[in-house]
Amino acid sequence: MKRRSALHAFTLAEMLISMVGSSVVIGALLFSSVELQKSLHASETYATNQSDQRRQMDCLARDMRRSIGVALTTKVNGSAGTRLAGTTATIEDSTSLVITLPGYYESNTPQDKNYDKPLDVVAADNFVDYGQGTAHAAGVPVIFRKEFVEDQGCVCYVRLEADSRTILISHAENFHLTVTVAPDGRSGAVEVNFVSPRHDSETRIAMRDEVLLRNIRLD
């Protein structure tokens, strides 16, 4: 007669303890995975924002260095500007920055045959500039503003010159631009800041560039 061997198995208490332990381990792994993905996304967003920040500053500082006029306006076409000097302005909402550049070329219309033909250098009124004959050329207004761009579907910082529009920063809701010009109008500063992409962070990441306005201001 054969004896049956005893069968051994986990008790109900042991099964519950193992399930709880497994749940804790799996939950910790899932939490770590989610936090790692958030950190990677925040790092990628931070790098993109810094690139946008630098592009905005470089473009604006370049135009300010060669400008002959810096003004603020609330008009869409950039008209009726108020000379900016001895103050700091924030470029957003309905406030636009208008920078007047010297006229370098005979035409600002891309279809014109003289579009890329430079003007002569003219010395008149005690300063040297580009122009024709004995007269200096009219300045070229360039507008910087923060606005909703329909084809991008988001708020952007844009640069407008004649019929050309360049998007400097897309998804610019968390970006802020301030421009300062000294009382003598010969120097200034550009600052671009954005809110840190870190979760629940209100820290602003700011970058500032000092600018020397090299041309004589005519505004």
What are the pLDDT digits (tens) for 148-182?
999 999 999 999 988 889 999 999 998 999 999 99
Judge whether residue 202 has pLDDT over 60: yes
Q: In which band, very low, low, confident or very high, does the pLDDT at 207 lie, cut at 50, 70 and 90?
A: very high
Judge whether residue 194 has pLDDT over 70: yes
Task: Over range 75-88, report the average pLDDT.
Answer: 86
For position 153, what pLDDT does the model report? 92
- Average pLDDT of the chain is 85
Task: For 20-72, write each residue's pLDDT tens digit.
Answer: 888 888 888 888 888 788 778 778 888 889 999 999 999 999 999 999 899 99
Sheet strands side by side (includes 140-149): 82-83, 69-73, 96-101, 140-149, 154-161, 164-169
Q: In which band, very low, low, confident or very high, does the pLDDT at 193 lie, cut at 50, 70 and 90?
A: very high
For position 4, what pLDDT does the model report? 58
Domain extent listing, the chain: 12-102+140-219, 103-138
For position 8, what pLDDT does the model report? 66
Choose between 26 and 6: higher pLDDT. 26
Q: 192-196, 197-201, 203-207: which range is least confident on average?
A: 197-201
Q: How far apart are CA 219 and CA 208, in angstroms?
A: 25
Task: Specify whether the CB–CB gap between 157 and 179 falls below 8 A.
Answer: no
Q: How far apart are CA 59 and CA 216, in angstroms?
A: 20
DSSP 81-150: -EE--SEEEE--TT-EEEEEEP--BS---TTSTTTTPBPEEEEETTEEEEEETTEEPPPEEEEEEEEEET
Candidates 211, 199, 208; CA nearest to 39 is: 199
For position 147, what pLDDT does the model report? 93
Stated length of the chain: 219
Q: How far apart are CA 166 and CA 68, in angstroms?
A: 21
For position 27, what pLDDT does the model report? 83
Q: How far apart are CA 61 and CA 204, in angstroms?
A: 21
Distances (CA, A) of 200 to 46, 55, 204: 14, 26, 12
